[in-house]
Amino acid sequence: MNIVIAGAAETDEIGRLPGHSTRQLHLEAARNALADAGLTKDDIDGVATVGTPGPVEIAHSLGIEPAWLDGTQVGGSSFLFHVRHAAAAIRAGMCRTVLITHGESGRSRVGAPRYARTPDSLSGQFEAPYGVLGPTSAFTLTALRYMKETGLTHEQLAEVPVAQRRWANLNPRAMYRDLITVEDVLASRMVAYPFHLLECCLVTDGGGALIVTSEDRARALGTRRPLVHLLGAGESAESPIISQMADLTSSAAFRRASRAAFAEAGVGHGDVDHLMIYDAFAHLPIYGLEDMGFVGRGEAGAFIAEGHTSPGGRLPLNTNGGGLSYTHTGMYGMFAIQEAVRQLRKEAAAQVPDAEVSVVLGNGGMFMSAAVLVLASHR
Amino acid sequence: MSTASRPAASGATPATAAKAAPETTPKAVPRPTPDTRPFWDGAAAGELRVQRCRGCARHFFYPRPACPHCGSGDVEWVTASGRATLHSYVINHRPAPGFADEAPYVIAIVELEEGVRMMSNLVGVPADPEHLPLDLPLRVVFEPRGDVHLPLFTPAEAR
């Protein structure tokens, strides 16, 4: 059974939205995705979203009577997991048309869950006591080891936000659009050495939603947008706390999830026209390119610095500007999927010519979980 | 555990969490659980304890009831040598609650001689990359925090 994304939309606005609660962001994105597909809430019989507010509240708020729910919450990659789980559920006959929602008041914190880790949790016992303050001081911990082992330079790390800003410069919805240089990045405020402010993602409010169904069902319903086909997907996880990654220079979850996704899709790396790699920090696209096998070990820094992922390059990467320049609500994965859908529908702000196959890598937590989707404009 | 009033808001947005943390907020204090109690009891006694599998002879950390390598439940607590190396680190310029007076400070991942890694802070060395080559030999020291003792690390030659 062929699985498609029949509807996809973000909230009307992204960025600073103090007038929107977390739930409002979910529901606005859901209604936008339904409108995008030309469907109503009564066409939906499955709902997936992260634990807070969770699929029960989203289904009830919208007046959906769900036959299937998924509340998988494994960080910012969760929405890629939801797509894969929805595909399996639809193929198993558990439901026919699934709504996946994301909404996060990441900046304004309106109606948002607390981030607190209890002092008896793993992170509370073995990481928080050392003065970790959010991802900036923990997700970044792997980079110096990577730099020592591969020779990646500070300048090459700084090239990542420079390359992505070139894409953001072409995207009116991006939060930061002015072109920047390596010198600008290295002159920006030090957050957690070796990471400067411009090597860290934004913190924003926003949401997005997807409608996943079978190709046959989409055609029977008469959805009104070009269908985006799910060719393959994979998921995996590694350590719940970053200090216990087996190898600080490579993500096992990235490797396993991408291997599964490429195997199911039956496409090779050379078939990929467009790539989205979850970029909470500047080193993530470097790990993603290498761990998914697009470049060899230690080659990603030079690959990005040489412009291959920039506009006009042979492997367009993070073409919305990414979490570093477009938006980053906290669980960014939904926005990576949204940009892949726009590219494959040929409606992106910075459109890649002839984009037919797009790969999306979602990270969850801090190299904690990962999922990969291989999407295409046709089968 | 009354002192463990406010754990570091891991996952919080840095800007908002920093604003929400008054200077008087204490540092996060770990609260031991039954499975981790031997680790903290060891720290209080000045010993760095980790687990070792009797089946495959490999060490592991964090505390667990069975070996993550071979699956054996035949595991024991052993006292590590306390010798380690600096595996990776950041110099954190956005202090967590209670750390304002020390910023910028080093958050490190250290690798014990026994092969396991853990997060810690470095003390007795400037928070300056010139003083912090990776693989720098370290040794454990213990710092009282609330009603537990935390293992921290310092350059091996420091006295």
pLDDT tens for A309-335 read 999 999 999 999 999 999 999 999 999
CA A11 to each of CA A25, A30, A38, A58, A169: distance values in angstroms, whole numbers, following the listed order: 7, 8, 17, 15, 21
Name which of A144, A189, A191 is nearest B88 (Cβ-Cβ).
A144
Whether residue A127 is contained in a domain is answered as no
Whether residue A144 is contained in a domain is answered as no
Contact A140 B90 (CB under 8 A): yes
Whether residue A184 is contained in a domain is answered as no
Question: pLDDT over 70 for what percent of chain B?
Answer: 84
What CA–CA distance (Å, rounded) separates A173 from A221?
A: 31
Residue of A nearest to B123 (CA): A130
Whether residue A169 is contained in a domain is answered as no
Cis peptide before A194 (omega within 30 of 0): yes
Name which of B33, B61, B134 is nearest A148 (Cβ-Cβ).
B134
Count of structural domains, chain A: 1
* pLDDT value at residue B23: 54
Whether residue A345 is contained in a domain is answered as yes
- Identify all chain A residues contacting B15, using CB atoms and an 8 Å cutoff: 203
* pLDDT value at residue A114: 75
What CA–CA distance (Å, rounded) separates A204 from A224?
A: 30
CA A8 to each of CA A99, A228, B3: distance values in angstroms, whole numbers, following the listed order: 10, 10, 47
Work out the minimum CA distance from B15 to partner chain A, whole angstroms: 9
- Residue A92, token pair as written in the block: 């198993």
* pLDDT value at residue A265: 98
Name which of B16, B95, B145 is nearest A129 (Cβ-Cβ).
B145
- Report residue B104: phi and psi, to 5°: -75, 150
Residue B18 banded pLDDT, cuts 50, 70, 90: very low
What CA–CA distance (Å, rounded) separates B149 from A67?
A: 51
Contact B93 A192 (CB under 8 A): yes
* pLDDT value at residue B13: 41
Which letter does DSSP use for residue A19 in this model? Answer: T
What CA–CA distance (Å, rounded) separates B67 from B72?
A: 5
CATH of the domain at A56: 3.40.47.10
Query: Cβ distance A236 to A253 under 8 Å?
Result: yes
What is this structure's pTM?
0.94
- Among B2, B10, B149, most A C-beta atoms within 10 A, so best to mutate, is B10
ipTM: 0.95
Query: Cβ distance A298 to A150 under 8 Å?
Result: yes
Tally the residues of chain A. 379
Name which of B7, B13, B118 is nearest A119 (Cβ-Cβ).
B7
* pLDDT value at residue A117: 77
Work out the minimum CA distance from B1 to partner chain A, whole angstroms: 9
Query: Does residue B9 register a pLDDT over 50?
Result: no
* pLDDT value at residue A51: 81
What CA–CA distance (Å, rounded) separates B151 from A108?
A: 37
Query: Does residue B100 register a pLDDT over 80?
Result: yes
Residue of A nearest to B14 (CA): A134
Question: pLDDT over 90 for what percent of chain B?
Answer: 82
Residues of chain A with pLDDT under 70: 115-116
The residue-averaged pLDDT of B5-18 equals: 39
- Identify all chain A residues contacting B96, using CB atoms and an 8 Å cutoff: 128, 131-133, 137
Work out the minimum CA distance from A132 to partner chain B, whole angstroms: 6
Whether residue A183 is contained in a domain is answered as no
- Residue B70, token pair as written in the block: 């071979």
Name which of A122, A128, A141 is nearest B62 (Cβ-Cβ).
A122
The residue-averaged pLDDT of B62-87 equals: 97
Contact A106 B102 (CB under 8 A): no
- Residue B41, token pair as written in the block: 């009891």
Work out the minimum CA distance from A144 to partner chain B, whole angstroms: 6
- Identify all chain B residues contacting A119, using CB atoms and an 8 Å cutoff: 1, 4, 7, 28-31
* pLDDT value at residue A173: 98
Residue of A nearest to B152 (CA): A130
Name which of A106, A129, A242 is nearest B28 (Cβ-Cβ).
A129
Residue B1 banded pLDDT, cuts 50, 70, 90: very low
Beta bridge partners of A374: A232, A359
Work out the minimum CA distance from A168 to partner chain B, whole angstroms: 22
Sheet-wide strand order for A68-70: A68-70, A46-48, A97-105, A205-214, A3-10, A228-237, A369-376, A357-364, A274-277
Cis peptide before B104 (omega within 30 of 0): yes
Work out the minimum CA distance from B136 to partner chain A, whole angstroms: 13
Angle between helices A283-291 and A143-150 (to 10 degrees): 60
Name which of A115, A129, A203 is nearest B150 (Cβ-Cβ).
A129
* pLDDT value at residue B158: 60
Whether residue A27 is contained in a domain is answered as yes
What CA–CA distance (Å, rounded) separates A131 from B127?
A: 14
Work out the minimum CA distance from A119 to partner chain B, whole angstroms: 5
- Among A52, A73, A144, A363, most B C-beta atoms within 10 A, so best to mutate, is A144
Domain of residue A276: give its range.
3-112+203-376
Residue of B nearest to A109 (CA): B16
* pLDDT value at residue A263: 98
Whether residue A274 is contained in a domain is answered as yes
Work out the minimum CA distance from B157 to partner chain A, whole angstroms: 22
- Identify all chain B residues contacting A125, using CB atoms and an 8 Å cutoff: 30-33, 36, 62
Query: Does residue B144 register a pLDDT over 50?
Result: yes
CA A29 to each of CA A64, A214, B72: distance values in angstroms, whole numbers, following the listed order: 15, 21, 48
